[in-house]
């Protein structure tokens, strides 16, 4: 009997791995926080980096994009390698590389050096992220995983505001490189604690390295992310963007064909026939799509429309993390009471309601109202993400937990990139259309910049003088809120569509009742009584995955 009332075998209960499982979870959660903090902390530092390094707009984009492209492109490959060579080894190596790359980023003397360091951090992140979830699958028995994944998700959610808060404070006190140096002490603690608290695990029957699968998956994911990143600025119908989408499609098709024919594929394509996995992946994708789109616009809203600095803006994202922690922490109990299908569907509906409510914000909306709706949004995310993640992982054999975790991470990253790309484009078109007349007082590049960015419009307004500047600022703020409202309504509609999908396709129960188990596993002749019953050994914790 475990501490929370879950019955486990005596052999498991006596193992060191089981006794230390909650401490292991803490180390894994902090490892994930490290990645989440780094993502948001960079967004806060971008203006300072641009000034100090003299980075161009293209250079700034690649400082952000180099990490995303490398990280997402290598997730499946490193998830597979973790299964083959050891997940603890992959985790520890990734954290050390992440710290070293962060050191290089902190002292970069040029845009090119910083881009290279960020790419190296992307490699390390792809090693870390799949390993965290696959170790959880190894150390927790099936009956405790929903709770463990809920805590893991909730703690990771803290990284979003934490990165902005720490970044704002560091930028007010030190130089921009300090936002990367913060990764060194965190990484050192995680590595030291991981030596003692993270057990090693790997596939007991490792498969051959699938080189064609690794190359094709990396190319397909990188091309897809590149096209999504470039589309908002270049245009979705620009030839380069369309060509890159086509390359991503061809490589993806080739990957599916190669994996389907391979004797030992990196990713078993037949897994997607499992409705738990497919519907869980859809729920994760939709959740991250709307969340990343929301955060992308919210940080601009509090800084440019409401006039707060980076630190104050970061503090105003804390309610989102609070809601995420409440939702993630309570998701296990909700799944136990309602089941995965009902919990995930309800979570997506809560997200949709929160986003629709945010569409009503205006320039002067009071923070208590904003905070309440952010808590609601975070709560919906928490009760959606944890059970959806558990559904995906439950559909993958435990010995392949690394590749399953990587698949889960891919859905997050592609969904998040689509959120910023698609929703950002929708917002941009509305904003640009509504601010065009006011921006006509500017000339040349200034006018174009003001039509593309409220930050540029605000900066230009400061140089115009009192009356003209106030007119442009008011017009830009109103145009921003128009675009924000329409984008939030579109996000709410998308999320509601995801809820309808899970309601239709996600299995009602995770584990069939006893009579259903017998019906599924006993031969017809046994059930009809024509032959003597044959004992059937059933591992209930794998059924329904």
Residue 189 CB coordination number (10 Å): 14
Give dist(CA 207, CA 66) in Å, integer.
Answer: 30
Tens digits of residue pLDDT in 468-496: 777 788 888 888 899 999 999 999 999 99
Instruction: Please check the confidence at residue 213 and state whether its pLDDT lies above 50.
Output: yes
Q: How far is CA 500 from the centre of its chain?
A: 22
Q: What was the pLDDT predicted at 212? A: 86
Distances (CA, A) of 470 to 33, 302, 428, 482: 41, 18, 22, 18
On the CB side of 24, CA atoms within 13 Å amount to 25
Tokens of residue 463, six digits: 């140089």
The pLDDT-based confidence of 57 (bands split at 50, 70, 90) is: low
Residues 6+ apart with CB under 8 A from 241: 227, 230, 231, 234, 235
Give dist(CA 129, CA 111) in Å, integer.
Answer: 26
Nearest partner of 400 among 143, 146, 82, 125, judged by Cα: 82
Give dist(CA 221, CA 232) in Å, integer.
Answer: 18
Tens digits of residue pLDDT in 97-108: 999 999 999 998
Distances (CA, A) of 407 to 8, 72, 129, 290: 29, 10, 11, 19
Instruction: Please check the confidence at residue 438 and state whether its pLDDT lies above 80.
Output: no
The pLDDT-based confidence of 544 (bands split at 50, 70, 90) is: very low
Instruction: Please check the confidence at residue 433 and state whether its pLDDT lies above 80.
Output: yes
Nearest partner of 112 among 174, 58, 182, judged by Cα: 58
Tell me the average pLDDT across 175-188.
Answer: 88
Give me the numbers of helices (H) and strands (E) for the chain, helices first please. Answer: 24, 0
In the chain, % of residues over pLDDT 90: 20
Residue 219 CB coordination number (10 Å): 18
Helices (H), 178-210: 178-181, 183-197
Of 52-66, 300-314, 319-333, 345-359, the range with the lowest mean pLDDT is 52-66
Contact between residue 425 and residue 437 where contact means Cβ atoms under 8 Å apart = no
């Amino acid at each position: 009997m475990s501490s929370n009332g879950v019955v486990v075998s005596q052999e498991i209960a006596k193992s060191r791995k089981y006794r230390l499982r909650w401490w292991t979870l803490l180390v894994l959660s902090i490892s994930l926080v490290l990645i989440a903090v780094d993502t948001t902390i960079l967004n806060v530092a971008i203006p300072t980096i641009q000034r100090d390094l003299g980075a161009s707009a293209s250079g700034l984009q690649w400082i952000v994009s180099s990490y995303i492209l490398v990280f997402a492109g290598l997730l499946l490959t490193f998830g597979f390698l973790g299964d083959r060579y050891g997940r603890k080894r992959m985790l520890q190596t990734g954290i050390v590389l992440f710290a070293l790359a962060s050191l290089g980023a902190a002292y970069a003397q040029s845009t090119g050096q910083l881009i290279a360091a960020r790419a190296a951090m992307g490699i390390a992140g792809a090693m870390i992220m799949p390993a965290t979830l696959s170790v959880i699958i190894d150390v927790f028995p099936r009956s405790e995983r929903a709770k463990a994944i809920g805590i893991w998700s909730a703690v990771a959610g803290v990284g979003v505001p934490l990165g902005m808060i720490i970044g704002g404070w560091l930028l007010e006190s030190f130089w921009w490189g300090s936002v990367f140096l913060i990764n060194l002490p965190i990484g050192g603690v995680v590595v030291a604690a991981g030596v003692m608290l993270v057990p090693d695990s790997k596939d007991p029957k490792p498969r051959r390295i699938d080189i064609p699968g690794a190359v094709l998956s990396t190319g397909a994911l990188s091309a897809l992310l590149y096209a999504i990143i470039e589309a908002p600025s270049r245009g979705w119908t620009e030839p380069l963007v369309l060509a890159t989408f086509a390359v991503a499609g061809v490589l993806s098709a080739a990957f599916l064909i190669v994996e389907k024919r391979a004797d030992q594929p990196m990713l078993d394509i037949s897994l997607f026939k499992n409705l738990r996995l497919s519907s869980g992946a859809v729920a994760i994708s939709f959740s991250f799509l709307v969340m990343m789109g929301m955060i992308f616009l919210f940080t601009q809203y509090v800084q440019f429309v409401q006039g707060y600095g980076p630190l104050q803006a970061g503090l105003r994202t804390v309610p989102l993390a609070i809601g995420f922690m409440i939702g993630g922490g309570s998701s296990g109990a909700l799944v136990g009471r309602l089941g995965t299908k009902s919990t995930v569907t309800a979570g997506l509906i809560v997200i949709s309601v929160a986003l629709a409510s945010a569409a009503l914000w205006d320039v002067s909306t009071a923070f208590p109202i904003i905070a309440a709706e952010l808590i609601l949004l975070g709560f919906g995310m928490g009760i959606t993400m944890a059970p959806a993640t558990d559904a995906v992982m439950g559909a993958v054999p435990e010995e392949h937990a690394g590749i399953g975790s990587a698949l889960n991470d891919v859905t997050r990253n592609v969904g998040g990139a689509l959120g910023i790309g698609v929703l950002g484009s929708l917002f941009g078109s509305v904003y640009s259309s509504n601010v065009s007349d006011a921006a006509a007082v500017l000339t040349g590049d200034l006018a174009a910049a003001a039509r593309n960015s409220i930050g540029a419009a605000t900066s230009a307004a400061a140089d115009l003088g009192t009356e003209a500047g106030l007119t442009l600022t008011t017009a830009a703020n109103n145009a921003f809120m128009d675009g924000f409202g329409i984008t939030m309504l579109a996000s709410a509609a998308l999320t509601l569509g995801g809820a309808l999908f899970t309601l239709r396709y996600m299995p009602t129960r995770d584990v069939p009742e006893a009579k259903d188990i017998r019906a599924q596993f006993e031969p017809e002749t046994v059930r009809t009584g024509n032959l003597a019953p044959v004992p059937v050994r059933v591992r209930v914790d794998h059924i329904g995955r």
